[in-house]
Amino acid sequence: MRFIRFALFVGLPVLDLLACGGSSPPSQPQARDQAAATACTYYMRCGQIGAGLKYASTDDCLTQLKAYFNTTWPQDTCTSISQTGFDNCQAAIQIADCNSLADFLNVTLNKCTMANVCATPTKG
């Protein structure tokens, strides 16, 4: 049942993009939710979701990573999303090696930063 909920949660943002033709960038809440889902897929693939692991459950992972991306791309300063920057962030998460510190740092300090994902980052 957890897998079905997770698959639906991960799949729905993709369906949203297909329905819109994928031509317009996501809103900040959509980007946050999609990035969290992609990151949780990474943590699932890397065996980091479950009792006694980094995240106790998929729901725990999604909650924590939504909060992380909401802080990284605050809605009041990240008023629009760069489609290219967001796609690069998503791709970097998807291809990150589970045991690579360099990949983790590339995602967090390079590909998924406000400067790369937000089309109009403003200083608050």
| Domain presence at residue 28 | yes
| Domain presence at residue 122 | no
Average pLDDT (9-24) is 49
Report whether 40 contacts 65 (CB < 8 A).
Answer: yes
| Domain presence at residue 98 | yes
| Domain presence at residue 13 | yes
Query: Can you give the residue range of the structural domain that contains 84?
Result: 2-117
| Domain presence at residue 27 | yes
| Domain presence at residue 123 | no
| Domain presence at residue 21 | yes
Domain count, the chain: 1
pLDDT, residue 24, reads 86
Report whether 45 contacts 98 (CB < 8 A).
Answer: yes
Averaged confidence pLDDT in the chain: 86
For the chain, state the CA radius of gyration: 14
How sure is the predictor about 19, in pLDDT bands with cuts at 50, 70 and 90? very low
